[in-house]
Structures are given as C-alpha cells and as structure tokens.
A and B are shown apart, each in its own frame.
Chain A
C-alpha cells in the first residue's frame, strides 16, 4: 500500500513519457493527482504506521508531508491541464513525466525511514525538477536551471557527507551501524558528540540549501522566477517541505542525542538571518515571482524559528499552510504573468481590473502569507509566536514580529502596485483573461487554507500532534 504511493506515479511517469500525444499527456495528469490523493487518504485513514518493509513506513511526519504534497500536486495537475493547453508551442513530454517523477520522489522522501534512502530521494527530487524549471527554454531559464542544479547538488552533496558523519557517529558510539531512523533514535544517547555536531552542521547546510535558508537560498529567486508558476508552486510548496521534513528527522536524532540546544540555536540563528535577508531584499522588489521566492525564504526561516523555540506543532502546521499558500500565490502569479505578458512591476498595474479573480486571489494570498486571520497561516504563525514569546527567548519573538512587519512593508507595496490602478494599454490587448480552468484550482487551495484557519478537523489535529510528538515537540 505504502509502496504504491511511489510506484504509481513512477509508472505513470513512464507511461506519460511513452505516450506520443501532446494533447493527452496533460489531460492524464489530474488522473494521477486524484489517484495519488485517494491513495494518501486511504493510507492515512488506515492503520497508522503502514509499512512496506523496514525502510518505507508511513509515520505521522511522513503522513503530513504526503498530505501536503499530494494535495498540492492534485491542484497543480488540474492547473497544468489549462496551462499546457495554452503552451502548445512547447513539447511537454519531459515536463509531464518529470511532474509525475517529482510526485514519486517526494512521496519517497515522505516514506523513507532510512537516512541513506532519504538522501537518495532528496537528490532525486532535485534532479527531476531541473527540467521543469527549464520548461521555457530561454536564456534566463537556463541560467536559473544551471544555478538551481549546481547549488542544490553541492548542498545535497554536503548533506550526503553529513549523513555519513551521522552514521559514523553512530558507529563510533553504539557500534550499531543501521541507518534506520528507528535505530538511530534508539541509540542516539551513545553517539560520538563531535561527529554528531559536525554531521548536523553538514546536514543543516545541505538540506538548508534545498529548503532555501539565507544565505544558501540564492538559487531560489532565479529558479522560482523563471519557472512556470505551476512549477514554482510545486517547488515552493512541495520540495521545500520535503527538505524540511528531512531536516526535522535528523534534528530529532540530534535532539535525542543531547545536542538539541545546539541544534535549536542554529535553527533560530539561520531562521532569523533568513528573515532579515528577506526583509532587506523584499524592499523595492520589482518582480512578482522573485518576490514570492523571497517570501518562501522568509517562511522557511519562520519554520526553523518555530522548531528552534520549541513550537513544533506550530511549525508543522505552518509547513502545511505555507505550502498551500505558496501554491496559491504562485499559481495566481502565473495567471498575472500571462495576462500581462510580464512579471516585472513596470509592466503590471491594475491586475485587479484586468484579472478580477486572479488579482483578488493574489491579494488575499498575500494577506494569508502575512499571517492574517482567518487563514490557516494565522493559526500556525500565531502558535509559533506563542512559543517564541516565552521566557528565555523573548527577543526571538520580538525580532520575529519586527521582521514580519518590515517584510510586509516591502511585499505589500509591490503587491498593491501590481493590483491597483489602471491596466496598461499593452495588457488590455492581450487575449489572456481569467478563465475557470485557471482560477478554480487556486480557489480550491484558498478554500483549504481558509478552512484550516476556521476548523482543523480532529484527525488532522491528531496527526499534527503526533508528528510534533514524533520529533520531540510537546503537542
């Protein structure tokens, strides 16, 4: 059952690659999305800990990630149909296959209970997304792809060394050479501390590159900016969450080994640095997709701070809500990009008039990203804030609030500039307007985010609490 989560998309990828029809390939994507979503629902509803051997198992953390990735993919696949119909000029064979491959690899990340396998899956998600970023096949997109590929590969290589270090720490300390997380956590107390700390630093830098923490995030604005909106949505919502979960698994081992305080300090430090970096780069950002990329960096910083101050529940919920909001924003930004034929602010104005649905969705997505109630992001952000504003690290809470405010200033001025006023004449001539196929998927995402803010279903809450408990956070 659990294995099917990986195998079905894998098989679908092969099938899509083999399929000769340019028209049918996109149309078959939502089928995969729906099938995967159904599988995930069944797995989640079934017995907890469904396993396929010792290496693949659905634990709460993985289940959470599965749910995020699956929902996001389902929506994006729906969006992809209309998107690819508009982009008949590009061959979509590799694109569709890689989308399916990405789903397979992300599912693998969620299921992996083995440090080495986790790494392999993470690297694979990087590689299968490179062709997605290169979809537009122009100079800018190849530059972005190149940077993405190289920086992430280097980062992931460091993560591999970190994994090796971790297993060496285990080897030295407990003489147990298994790299299953269950045995790592069981013997964590006996690990060699110097190796452990070095391993954590390497893994933090390695997966942190993939998460996109400043100053390792440099590929993000380029890749998200040049990729189609739908790819940006999958990357910012899915791929980053995968890396975050991988990092959390490692963090849990380090925490159990008694180096939790060290790890948390690093989390808070890097998290705040990311937010600060974003606060600076968000000001006068004149490209809406790059702006969203920086927002992603910001929220990844918030996630790390959340874990760092002991708000695991809030951080995990924020992982979910942020992923969905990022999907929402990138898809809306994609529509705006198409409507105006540009993603630079100097060409965009009056998007709320030209594209009333996408414009309004973009605006509300921005508010959701800012953590405004009643969106789900409010609940998560507020939980993190509550954890931060406790004795011992008041200053973290204060800094978090201040940086949120500054970033809001930078992002808001760009967002409103894009939405308000009169659309330029050039855009009025463009044939691209809001169509249901392009807005309904976004509305779905928005609805989920809104519902999460108003009503968290009991199973979802239990899952979140179990996941938080599984990485050592108080529920």
Chain B
C-alpha cells in the first residue's frame, strides 16, 4: 500500500514537469504545484513505512523490461532515503518558484522544471528498485536528468564545462555499474538485489565486485578522488538544484554502496579498511579544499565531499564489524552513517538554499566581495547560521547526533583485539580533526558573508528573499533542531533501516537506543538551551541601550571595510598546514620597503585531482591521439595496404 503510494507519487513527480514544458507562467506554476503534491504524497508514504513497523512491501512490474524481470521494493533502508528525497525535492520545487521563475527565465524555466521532476522521480526509483536492471534504468535517468539540471544555464562556458565533466564522470560510473551488475548476475543467475551466497567474496571476483561498487556508486557519491565533477557541477547549477544534488542525489551513491556491499554475508576485512581509508581521505581533504574556496557554493560543494567522507567512515566501520562478527559496530557505524545521510540532506540543502538567497540578492557568490549581509538579510543569516552550526557537528543540532553515534562506534572498536578494529578506532581523532576543520570553515563562511561590513560595492541592495525561498529554509532548520533536540524519535527508524540494510544478520541487530542511550542527549541539550537562554536574557538586559561606537581601530585613523579579514586570510593558517595536498596558486606583489606603493595578493585553490592531474593528462592524451591521425591520411593506396596486411597477418595465424 505504501509502496503503491510511493510509486504513484514517483510517477506523478516524473510527469509533473510536462505542463511546464509547454511554457508559460501558469503551466510552470502548475508543475510546481504538482511537484509539491507528489513530494508530499511520496514523503508521507515513505515516512509511513519508516516510522510504522511494517513488513517490506514488494511489487513486480507486470511486464518485462525488454528481457529483464523488474520489480520494486520498499523496506526500511529505502524508506530512510526516500524521506529526504521527497522532502528536499518538494522544498526545492517551492524555492525554484522564486529563484527560477518562468517570468524571468522563459522556456528555460519550463525545461528545468521538467528535468527537475524527472530527476527527483528517478532518485526515488533507484532507491525502491528491487533488482539491478531497475536500478540501472532509474540510475541513468537520474544521472542524465541531473545533467540537464546542471546545464540549465548553458550559455555560460563554465557551466558547459562543469556539465561535461559531470556527464563524463557519471557515465564512467554507470559503466562500472554495468560491469557490476553483469558480474553479479553471472554469479547468482539473477539481477535481484538479494543476499549473495557465502564464499563468493574472496579472490578476484570479490575484489572486482567491491571495486566496481565503490567506483560506480562512489563517483556519484563524490568520494575523493572521484569527486572531480562535484565542485564544478554544484556551483554551476541553480541553487535549488545544488541543494537537491548535494542534499540527496549524491546520497543515492551512498545508498548503492550500502545496498550492494551488505549483500555479501562474508566481506573480507580489507573492504571495510578500504572504505575507512576512502572516508578519511574524503573527509579531511574535502574540508581542507573547502577552506581554500572563495566561491560560496564551491565551498559548500567541497563540504559535501567531506560529509560523504564521514558517512563512508560509518559504512566502513559497519563493514569491518560485519567481517569481524561485531553487530554493535555494524549498528553504530551504519546507524551513524544513515543518520548523517538524513542530517546532511537537511543542513546541506538549507545551506545551499541560503547560498542561493545570497547569490540571488547580491548577484555574486564571491566571498571576497560579500560581507555584512546579516544586517540586510537577517532572516537568511539566522537560518544559514543554523545550517552552519549543524554541519559543523555542534550540539545541540542534528549534525552532532550522527557524528556522536560514529564516535561511539569507533570507541567501541577500540576494545577490539583485532587490527581492523583498532584501525577503525583511529578514525575517532580523524573525525575530530574533520569536525574542527569544518567548524573553522563555517566560521569563515558565515563570518565573511554575513558579518562585518560589505567588502565591495554591490549593485543590488541586498534584502531577504520572499516566503517561497525562506519557508523551505525554515522547515529545514526546524528539522535540524528537532533531530538535534529529540534524537530518540528517529532512532526506531534508524534501527529499521539498519536491519533492512544488513540482510541475514545473525539474530536481531542490537538496538541503537540501548547502546547509544540517545535520549540523554536530548536532556543535556535542553539543559544547555536553558543556560543559553538565561545568559542571553541577562546579557541583553544588561546591554540594552548600550552606546554605539566604531569598532576599536587600534589607533588607525581611517579604517575601511577593505581592511577586514578576507576569506583567504582567514583560512591562510590552515591552508598552510595542508599545502602539501591543496597546492594553492598564489599570485601577487609582495610588500616591499617602508612605504610600499602597492601590493596585492591573490590565492586560489584549484582541485588537485581535476585541475592538476586529470585534465592535463587527458589533454595530453587527446593531443597524442592526433599523431594517430597519420594512420588515416586520405591515401587510398595506404588503405588498401591495410586490407592486404590484415589479410596476410590473419592468414599467418591460420
């Protein structure tokens, strides 16, 4: 029943953009309404499956998809992903009415609406797919749909390039998935996503399965170093699309990794270890790259890499636990990872919505030109701040809860006698490092954009956006707070998802609520809020009517906004620490002499993998292929010689 609701909502979502394709303001608005309705229905169905104990529902397609039997299934894991998908997609549909109105964008808005609905529906379909073929079909629809979302504004060269890199990356990933499911089919005789028989995972076959899974789904998830498409695509896309992509689309990659890897009942220990390593690299370098960015949306995009790293750390812990027969690690690792999936969907969408509001109001995303928006856009600032606190993993918001579960898992693993367990435990300090770096980065992001004074004269006078943009942000902020303050409410859903993700686990998985005692957090958070309120009331009472003066200028006679800390100066110390990986490009004229006439400094952090390795190598290879053109110079005689030589060579083989 709930599956029917979800599938119906998905179909409605897929079709929702058709009116908009016709063009016109009314039709586009109708599409938006349809999308919101579809999201509401689907979200309700998924939430029902998530929060009410119900057996997983399944539905087989009444006809064969070409030659393949295809079916859908709604279990706890699927439902856990479906809820954010529909939530963020629905909110984004509202948000887009203000950022990408049909009135201003014309036919482009209709096309964007259409592909938006298609992509959202495809995401939902990937998650409920019960077999490899259905998953592949939905996957590709999602990937291609997202491509059209990214290139919504294809008049800009940067957008085109970002779109192309995205398309190339996602296609490479899709090909890996082709290989993966072909292999699985060969081993099991069926495309169904059912547990594999034991004993398959060893040797080359297991390695191939693991690598194809991690590469194929990992490209979409954006794990380092497969993240190459992510920063460009996220900053090129319209903001509500960035929110959907970063909030939920990349999570579909995580879904795939979890779904497929846990089909293996006896994973080799190195699988978990490899995931932990990938997670660590993605987490630390993701946030380090984020620190070096000047483009607000690029910065947020790199934070997606970081958060995916955190999620993958949890999945890695769970895999290590599965290999070692430690159900508690599995429960905590996977529980933390899945909760972080939900949390990241909430706060990252919130942040992208906020960044979109900033870009919408000021016309720029460049940190070095922004500043002081907290006074002109107070609501946006407050909501962005909620997102910033949440993404930094700070109590009392939701980001803390999921990271806390992961910490519990790592600290549980420290008691282990196995090298794998101790290795997993080492991720705890790493997670602390990631968290602290994220904090630094969001002090920068929020502080530079919203605090102080504007750093450049912007053409538009910034102001808070309208309700269509603010309301989605408010909903997300409330949910962030709700999960942070009452995490125990979501724990049963997590348990259901974990149980569904780990088929054939020996006995019932341990209850997260028991091992984590999440409820305590709630009480502590409330006490903390009380203290906060008390101090706040007291201080505001004490400072009411306080006189105003200029910021203490240390005796300098003409302070100007240009003297404020800039984004790059704020991050300089940490960038120096990570110089070995980030390789920032610095240009400028150093300060010389006692009375320097002019000095300048500009730094930028290109993506090391993409800009320093992948693109140069590919360009060089493409240039090399031009030498091969000598093989076809247009001479018929030479072509006939090829025929003769081929014949002779093959005859020699006879």
Contacts from A to B (Cβ < 8 Å) = 143, 146-147, 150-151, 154-155, 158, 194, 197-198, 201-202, 204-205, 209, 215-216, 218-219, 221-222, 266, 280-281, 283-284, 352, 367, 370-374, 376, 378-379, 381-383, 385-386, 388-390, 394, 397-398, 401, 404-405, 408-410, 412-413, 416, 420-422, 452-456, 461
Identify the interface centre among B65, B141, B650, B653: most chain A CB within 10 Å of its CB: B650
Segment among B170-178, B364-372, B411-419 that sits at the interface with chain A: B170-178
Assess the A397–B182 pair: CB atoms within 8 A: yes
Assess the A201–B63 pair: CB atoms within 8 A: no
Given A197-B654, A283-B622, A422-B155 contact (CB < 8 Å): yes
Q: Report the minimum CB–CB distance from B185 to chain A (whole Å).
A: 6
Assess the B186–A455 pair: CB atoms within 8 A: no
Given A283-B625, A373-B137, A386-B182, A209-B65 contact (CB < 8 Å): no
Assess the B182–A216 pair: CB atoms within 8 A: no
Question: B66: CB under 8 A from chain A?
Answer: yes
The interface residues of chain B lying within 8 Å CB-to-CB of A147 are 636, 639
Given A205-B647, A373-B141, A385-B164 contact (CB < 8 Å): no
Q: Report the minimum CB–CB distance from B219 to chain A (whole Å).
A: 11
The interface residues of chain B lying within 8 Å CB-to-CB of A421 are 154-155, 157, 160
Q: Report the minimum CB–CB distance from A349 to chain B (whole Å).
A: 10
Given A280-B628, A284-B625, A405-B137 contact (CB < 8 Å): no
Main SS at interface, chain B: helix
A453 to B650, CA, bound (A): 37
A96 to B277, CA, bound (A): 65
Given A280-B628, A416-B167, A420-B151, A386-B185 contact (CB < 8 Å): yes
Assess the B172–A405 pair: CB atoms within 8 A: yes
A143 to B164, CA, bound (A): 35
Assess the A405–B171 pair: CB atoms within 8 A: yes
Write the B613-654 contact mask toward A (1 if CB under 8 angstroms, else 0): 000001001100110110110101001101101110011011
Question: B136: CB under 8 A from chain A?
Answer: yes
Q: Report the minimum CB–CB distance from B114 to chain A (whole Å).
A: 12
The interface residues of chain B lying within 8 Å CB-to-CB of A409 are 168, 618
Assess the B67–A383 pair: CB atoms within 8 A: yes
Given A280-B628, A382-B182, A389-B186, A408-B650 contact (CB < 8 Å): no
Choose among A209, A373, A398 the residue that contacts B643 (Cβ–Cβ < 8 A).
Answer: A209
Given A219-B639, A455-B66; 18 other pairs, CB 8 A cutoff: A154-B643, A158-B643, A198-B651, A201-B647, A221-B632, A222-B634, A283-B621, A284-B625, A352-B154, A379-B67, A382-B136, A386-B182, A389-B182, A394-B208, A401-B178, A420-B151, A422-B155, A456-B67
Among residues of A, the one whose C-beta sits closest to the C-beta of B645 is A215
The interface residues of chain B lying within 8 Å CB-to-CB of A381 are 178
A247 to B324, CA, bound (A): 55
Choose among B67, B168, B181, B622 the residue that contacts A408 (Cβ–Cβ < 8 A).
Answer: B168
Choose among A209, A221, A412 the residue that contacts B164 (Cβ–Cβ < 8 A).
Answer: A412
Assess the A151–B178 pair: CB atoms within 8 A: no
Interface residues on B, range: 35 or more
Choose among A151, A397, A405, A454 the residue that contacts B636 (Cβ–Cβ < 8 A).
Answer: A151
Assess the B172–A372 pair: CB atoms within 8 A: no
Assess the B186–A386 pair: CB atoms within 8 A: yes
The interface residues of chain B lying within 8 Å CB-to-CB of A422 are 155
Q: Report the minimum CB–CB distance from B623 to chain A (whole Å).
A: 8
Assess the B160–A412 pair: CB atoms within 8 A: no
Write the B16-54 contact mask toward A (1 if CB under 8 angstroms, else 0): 000000000000000000000000000000000000000
A456 to B133, CA, bound (A): 15
A166 to B507, CA, bound (A): 66
Among residues of B, the one whose C-beta sits closest to the C-beta of A453 is B66
The interface residues of chain B lying within 8 Å CB-to-CB of A410 are 622
Assess the A280–B625 pair: CB atoms within 8 A: yes
Assess the B179–A389 pair: CB atoms within 8 A: yes
Among residues of B, the one whose C-beta sits closest to the C-beta of A150 is B636
Assess the A385–B650 pair: CB atoms within 8 A: no
A151 to B638, CA, bound (A): 11
The interface residues of chain B lying within 8 Å CB-to-CB of A158 are 643, 647
Assess the B643–A216 pair: CB atoms within 8 A: yes
The interface residues of chain A lying within 8 Å CB-to-CB of B185 are 386
Assess the B650–A266 pair: CB atoms within 8 A: yes
Choose among B68, B154, B178, B626 the residue that contacts A385 (Cβ–Cβ < 8 A).
Answer: B178
Choose among B139, B178, B186, B618 the residue that contacts A390 (Cβ–Cβ < 8 A).
Answer: B186
Assess the B137–A198 pair: CB atoms within 8 A: no
Given A202-B647, A420-B151, A455-B65, A151-B639 contact (CB < 8 Å): yes
Question: B78: CB under 8 A from chain A?
Answer: no
A-B pairs, top 6 by smallest CB distance, nearest first, are A218-B639, A379-B66, A373-B137, A283-B625, A386-B182, A215-B642
A221 to B632, CA, bound (A): 10
Assess the B632–A218 pair: CB atoms within 8 A: yes
Q: Report the minimum CB–CB distance from B109 to chain A (whole Å).
A: 15
Identify the interface centre among A284, A373, A376, A404: most chain B CB within 10 Å of its CB: A373
Among residues of A, the one whose C-beta sits closest to the C-beta of B167 is A412
Write the B132-158 contact mask toward A (1 if CB under 8 angstroms, else 0): 010011011100100000010011010
Identify the interface centre among B63, B64, B181, B647: most chain A CB within 10 Å of its CB: B647
Q: Report the minimum CB–CB distance from B630 to chain A (whole Å).
A: 11
The interface residues of chain B lying within 8 Å CB-to-CB of A385 are 178-179, 182
Write the B179-200 contact mask toward A (1 if CB under 8 angstroms, else 0): 1011101100000000000000
Assess the B168–A412 pair: CB atoms within 8 A: yes
A–B pairs, 7, beta carbons within 8 Å? A198-B654, A373-B141, A385-B182, A397-B182, A401-B176, A405-B171, A454-B65
The interface residues of chain A lying within 8 Å CB-to-CB of B639 are 147, 151, 218-219
The interface residues of chain B lying within 8 Å CB-to-CB of A222 are 634
